[in-house]
Amino acid sequence: MFRYPNGKPYEPKEQFVHKKQQTITYSNRGMTLEEDLNETNKYYLESKLAVIHKKPTPVQIVNVDYPRRSAAVIKEAYFKQSSTTDYNGIYRGKYVDFEAKETKNKTSFPLQNFHAHQIDHMRNIVEQGGICFVILSAFNEFYYLEAQNLLTFWNRQETGGRKSITHDELNEHGHKIPLGYQARIDYLKIIDKLYF
């Protein structure tokens, strides 16, 4: 059993528990957003374009069952700290940091998918001049949304406004990312357009 730093038990979302039974609807390729991004980042690394990796989640193991050495089973563990964002690295000498989120909501992207500590982390990256954004899988499309725009939507929510990003707002403030072959979700093209 995994636990958060506050002792609360971690309960995985059902979509991750029954992953083999799940059918992904976008392009019916059977891939998740995270798998697509990991493949994209692997391509970037092998092509010497960028060095961007998924951040590991720090876990403290408390109880392990050793029926035999080759079959150790973790019985209890705790998340050491709250996570920040999913990915970070370097591209063309600039620090890159981003979060990846999915929704099946048909009309808007709920801001409740983000945590306050993730928003604070992204705000800090922006203030230090890093390239920070989110990649959203929504409405059967992939979007690149700059952290500055996400922060605007978050602040709107914090002051009593809408608690989601509409499809129209995402089309207006985000950048659609077409699916590719080698770089499946080629977000570097958008970074090039925005920063270089």
Instruction: Give me the helices (H) in 18-166, please.
Output: 33-46, 116-127, 147-158
* Dist CA 82 CA 73 (whole Å): 24
CA nearest neighbour of 154 among 104, 106, 99 = 99
157 is in an annotated binding site: no
CA nearest neighbour of 149 among 95, 190, 107 = 190
Query: Residue 64, SS3?
Result: strand
65 is in an annotated binding site: no
86 is in an annotated binding site: yes
Looking at residue 64, its amino acid is: V
Query: Which residues are annotated binding-site positions for Mg(2+)?
Result: 84, 86, 99, 118
Query: Which residues are annotated binding-site positions?
Result: 84, 86, 99, 118
